[in-house]
Amino acid sequence: MRRLIIAAALSVGLLTSPALAQPVPIRVGITNNAADVGLFVADKRGYFAAEGIKAEFVSFAAAARMITALGSNDLEVGGGGVAAGLFNAVARGIGLKIVADKSTSVPGFGSGALMVRKDHQETGRFKTLSDFKGFKIALPAPGTATSTSLDMAFAKAGISLRDMEPVFLSFPQMVTALENKAVDGGFLTEPMVSMAVSRGLAVKLLSDDEIFPNHQIAVTLYSEKFIRENREKAVGFMRALLRGNRDYHSVIINGRLSGPGSEDMIAILNEYSAIKDPSVYRGIQVHSADPDGRLRPESLQTDLDYFRARGLIQGNVELKDAMDISIAAEALKTLGPYQRKP
């Protein structure tokens, strides 16, 4: 009997040991594009699994739609562009926090650009930025960080977005609109920038890293419930994500996926993202996803001030109310600061 009791105890111990514990499912909102690369790498290379996490990717047509899902606890993790809607959600008490970088226009990593139709340049209809006055300009949505960048650029020409007619389209739709001459220009991101240039539809005028260096374009978001009720996995998820971002950065040379190991990185993007053409990833200017997850508070404050000045912020919200940098800081205690290998 004693031997049976001991055997049973050992069996229970084995079944509940960390090595055999079932991974914790974490629901992650994605938009299936290159900005999700850190998540894709962390999943493919087992970094989430090493933290006892099973990432369950949930696709969204637009990142803005993740905000409600995060607030209702239908997602633990999400991410997307900095926008007035994000700050308004915080002002309304929706439980989410900006926890890390997702995409920043570090000099040399200008994946977004202001473009004008090529035929306008060829005919002389467009010569300088001031010629955008009266143009139909394609934008991803009202109240986004794109508007901050563009008004910075146009201010030097004595005009603003208020002098133009905005047309809100998804980035792929912008290429079609340029082809059909439904818009005169717009702000596109890769790979649509390269696509519009290669097809002779538009010319690239200024990239975001030239207009607004170190602009915080997109951020990683956590639900507050995830942080509060499962902090261990919240930190573990961040460790895995940063490992994915570090692998991504390690194969970038001069803003392109061209270093040793880049073909494997392109294969991961080809497998997980909506674009299934490896040649696209070989040719585009890529974004920067900070290997340490660092946010750019000055940039975020600039965007918040811009949105507020244009009456887009509803209620009282300060930047500190929207951020929680402690998760990435805790993850770095284990990982240490990023050091690119020679």
Cβ atoms within 10 Å of 254's Cβ, excluding its own = 8
Burial of 84 (0-12, 13-18, 19+ CB in 10 A): buried
Burial of 319 (0-12, 13-18, 19+ CB in 10 A): middle
Beta bridge partners of 196: none
Q: What is the pLDDT along the chain (342 residues), one digit of tens a residue?
A: 555 444 444 444 444 444 457 999 999 999 888 889 999 999 999 999 999 999 999 998 778 889 999 999 999 999 988 999 999 999 999 999 999 999 999 999 988 999 999 999 999 999 999 999 999 999 988 899 999 999 999 999 999 999 999 999 988 899 999 999 999 999 999 989 999 999 999 999 999 999 999 999 999 999 999 999 999 999 999 999 999 999 999 999 999 999 999 999 999 999 998 888 899 999 999 999 999 999 999 999 999 999 999 999 998 999 999 999 999 999 999 999 999 876
Query: What's the pTM?
Result: 0.88
Cβ atoms within 10 Å of 323's Cβ, excluding its own = 17
Domains of the chain from N-terminus onward: 2-106+215-273+288-335 (3.40.190.10), 112-211 (3.40.190.10)
Q: Are 53 and 102 in contact (CB under 8 A)?
A: no
C-alpha distance from residue 43 to each of 227, 269, 291 (Å): 21, 12, 16
Is the C-alpha dihedral spanning 240, 243, 244, 245 positive or negative? positive
